[in-house]
Each structure stands twice: as structure tokens, then as C-alpha cells.
A and B are shown apart, each in its own frame.
Chain A
């Protein structure tokens, strides 16, 4: 079974430029997450999708970050314009997200390391 795919793996941009990251979750996984992991910290949730709807975007800086999952499969996270403090690893994760109360394991992609100069 293929894992969560992300691209690019690395990106270097100047501040005020735009950047986009792509994620393809595991086939059949309804729920998709984007996390931001700043160096020396644990990942922090930016946005959570259930199919193509947003479940939680309370930590997403909406003045510069946007994300979409138009067909309920792959997703794009965009930053426009980037700031120095956006330098981080951006992780995508997915889970089955089926009904019930038992936790479904989240599977993580390799991440995109963004450096803003």
C-alpha cells in the first residue's frame, strides 16, 4: 500500500514570495491534515479536512495561508506572501476517519522542508 505522498521535499524562497505544497493521502482515507513543525517543536495542526470539507482551521493564519481539497482526495497548501517565521517542515497526514469512537491511526508523509530567506 502506498503511503502519504508530498511534494516538493525541499523549497527555498525569498520572503514575500508565494509557495505551494501538494499532498496525496493514502487511497480511501477520508480525513487529511496539514501540520506545521517548526525546528525544535512538535507538529502543530494547521487545517483538517473531512472529504472536501474543512473540519478545523482554527490555527491556520488565514491572512496568508490557504488550503483546499477540491475533490476530497489530494490537497494543496499555499502560503502567500511568505514570512521568515514560516520556515518549517509542513507535514501532511491522513486517516480513514470512519464512524465510531475508536481512534484511527494517522499516517504521515515525509514532509516538505520550507526555508524562507
Chain B
């Protein structure tokens, strides 16, 4: 079956530091890949997505590239802010407009001044 493995947290960084959160996946076929973010006290929000190999998803300064050869979708940001403190989830879905999402365990990011 499908599965997602992401690096354990918490990750603690100083403001303006570079962020990488690793994510690898196992799936049959050609899944779509996602990063969701959960801010304290709020629901899950889609941060970015990529639907085919070599696609780069980007949003709010975050980026992730769909690497089929390494089955990875690592999240990066060049300069984090305190407001980026949240839990980040890597996820995948199978082919189809309404496929379910399979999530990783989440990585908590704490950014300090």
C-alpha cells in the first residue's frame, strides 16, 4: 500500500535560517504529492502540491520538487519566519480526482527570534 515517511521533529530554527524537511514515499503508479500545514489551533491547509515527476510546487516561499527517482518530496524554505511555526505534513494521493490522502506523521517546526 501507499505510505509516507517524513523526518521526525521537532525542528527548531532561528529566524532567517534555511529549512529542509525530508519526505519520502512508497506508492504504486503515479501519485500526486502534497505538503499540508497546520498552524496552532487551526485546521489543515494545503501549502503546495506537485502532480507529476519533476514538478516543483511552491507557495509562500516554500518549495518542493517531485523526485520520482528518489521517491522524495522534500520541503525547503530559504529564510524561515516566526510565523512559519506549525506542524507540516507530507501526503500523497493516488490517481483520480477524489483519491484519499495518505499522510506522514508530521514534523513540528519551531522558529525562534
Contacts and interface: CB of A to CB of B under 8 A. Distances in A.
Q: Chain B: interface residue count, which band? A: 20 to 34
A50 B101 contact: no
Contact of B98 (A55, A109, A110): A55
With most chain A CB atoms within 10 A of its CB, the pick from B4, B45, B95, B103 is B103
B51 A91 contact: no
Interface string B54-67: 00000000000000
B99 A103 contact: yes
Interface string B35-66: 00000001111100101000000000000000
B32 interface: yes
A103 B106 contact: no
B93 interface: yes
- The A interface, classified by DSSP as helix, strand, loop or mixed, is loop
For A42, A96, A108, the residue with the greatest tally of chain B CB atoms inside 10 Å of its CB is A42
A40 B104 CA distance: 10
Q: Residue among B51, B89, B91, B97 with the most chain A CB within 10 A?
A: B97
B4 A101 contact: no
A106 interface: yes
Interface string A14-31: 000000000000000011
B37 to A, nearest CB: 11
Contacts of A48: 98, 100
Contacts of B43: 4, 91, 108-111
A105 interface: yes
Contacts of A4: 43
Interface centre among B45, B89, B93, B98 (most CB of A within 10 A): B98
Nearest 9 A/B pairs, CB to CB? A42-B103, A97-B98, A31-B98, A108-B44, A110-B43, A103-B32, A45-B100, A108-B43, A104-B97
Interface of A: 4, 30-31, 33, 35, 40-45, 48, 50, 55-56, 91, 93, 95-106, 108-111
13 contacts: A4-B43, A40-B105, A42-B105, A43-B101, A45-B101, A91-B44, A97-B98, A101-B95, A102-B51, A102-B97, A103-B49, A103-B96, A110-B42
